[in-house]
Structure 1
Amino acid sequence: MKVTFLGTGTSQGIPVIGCTCETCSSVDFRDKRLRSSIHLKVNDNSFVIDTGPDFRAQMLREGIRQLDAIIYTHEHKDHTAGMDDIRPFNFMQMKDMPLYGTAAVLDQLQREFSYVFAPKKYPGVPQVVTNEISNKPFEVLGTTFTPILVMHYKLPVFGYRIKDFTYITDAKYIDEEELEKVRGTKVLVLNALQLKEHLSHLTLSEALELIDIIKPEKAYLTHISHKLGSHQKVEEKLPDNVFLAYDGLTISL
C-alpha cells in the first residue's frame, strides 16, 4: 500500500489569504498546505479519502489518472467541496464514481451538488453511486476500511484504518472503545491543528499524548494550521518517531 498526502492543511490552507506571519511567508515548500486529503494505492486500486476544494489541483499535481472510489470522513466543505471535479474520471474510466459516506455526508453532498442528483441531469455532470456506511467495517474492491468514530466538537467524524495504517483527521476526542480499533497500527496519521487549546481539534500536545498511548511505529501529523508554526521549527521538537506530514509526501507500507 502506498499513501500520498494530497493536502495537510486546515480549512483555510497555508498560506492563509492576507496573512503575513512567519509560516505563511515561508519559502519552504513544506509550509504550502492544501486542504487535507490522502490518496491510497492498494494493489491495483486507487482511493481518495475526502475531496476538498483543492481536489483538482491535487489530482493534477500527483498525476493521478485512475480513481476507483472516494471515501469521506465527514460533511464539512473543506472535505467535500471538490466533488464536482471527479468528472474527468467518469469520462476516462467510462463508469460512475462510487462515493462512501455516512447518511449525513451523503445528505450534504445531495444538497451542495443537487444537479448531480437531479431527476433530469444536465449533460456532463458527475456520475456517482452513493454507498451509505455506518460504524462497521466495509469493503471496497477487496480492501477493508474500518471506521474510527471520533468527535469534532459535537460532530461525529470517521477516521479509517486500512490494514496497518490509520488516518484520523478533525478529531478532538476519541473514546476508549474506538481507540481499541487503532491499537496495533504501525503508521498513524493524526490531526494537530495548533499549539493553543481549540474547541474542535487536537492541539500538538494532545496529539502527542494520543500517539504515546497508541504507540505506533511511526506517526504523521496533518490538518495543520499556520498557528502551529513552520515545518522545520516544529519538526525539530518532535519525538523521533513523529513527523509533520507535508503535501506530496509518500509513504509505503
Structure 2
Amino acid sequence: MSNTAKPPRILSIAGSDSSGGAGIQADIKTITMLGGFAMTAITAITAQNSLGVTAVQALSPEMVAAQIDACVSDIGVDAVKIGMLGSAAIANVVADWLEGLGVLVVFDPVMVATSGAVLADADTVAAFERLMKLAVLTTPNVPELQALGGAEAMATRGVVYLAKGGDEPGEVVHDRLVRPGTKPLDWRAPRIETQHSHGTGCTLSSAIATELGRGVALVPAIEAGRAFVRAALEAAPGFGTGHGPMGHQAVRL
C-alpha cells in the first residue's frame, strides 16, 4: 500500500476522562471515526462523569515525554492535538518536544471543563504562551479566551485562533477564525439544544488535527471538524444525568 493511502497519524497529548466523553477518549473516537490513526500521550488521569470532575492526578513530565518519544520515534506523526496538560512543567516539556518536531499542532487550551471545574492553574496558563506560538491553530472557548486576555491580547501575540461561541447564550452559535493580517472568518449555525455536550472542545480540536494531518487546508479542516461535532451532538446517546457524552460512534458524515 502506498504511503498516501495510509491513515494520518495523529498524536493526542491530553488527559484521560474516566467517563469516556472528553479528553483522550473523545480524541481516540474522533480520530478513528474520521479515518485517522490515534496515538496518545496521557498527561493526567481524572475521575469524572457527566456531573463533573472529582479528582485529578497529573503524570510526571518525564512520563509524558517518554510517551511522546515512543510514538514519534517508531510510528511517526502527521499532526498533534494538545488538550489538558495538568501542570506548567508538562506544558513546557511538550513545548520542548514540539519545537524540535516541526509538525502541525492544534492546541485546545483546556482550563475549564463544561461542568465548571478548573483544569489549569495560573502557571500552566502562562506556559500556554509557548504552545500558542507553535500551534497552527488555538481553539479557546469563551472563558478560556477571557483567561488568555481576550481578543486584544491574542492579536498582540499574533496567534491564529478559533474563538468558539458555544458557551455564549442565544439560539445561534457563532465561531470566529482570527488570523493576523486577514479578515476574520465567521461561522454561524442554529444551536443544538441538548445537555449532552461533554467533550465538544476535545472533539473539535482532534477532528481538525486529523484533517490537517490528512493534508486538508485549515479552513476546510475547521469546517469538517464543526460538521463532525454537530453530528455527534445530534447522535448523543443520552447517558448521564448532567452534561452527558456525545455520540461519536454514531456519526455518519
Common topology (TM > 0.5): no
How does the TM-score come out when normalised to structure 1? 0.37
Q: How does the TM-score come out when normalised to structure 2?
A: 0.37
- Higher strand fraction: Structure 1 or Structure 2? 1
Name whichever structure is richer in helix by fraction.
2
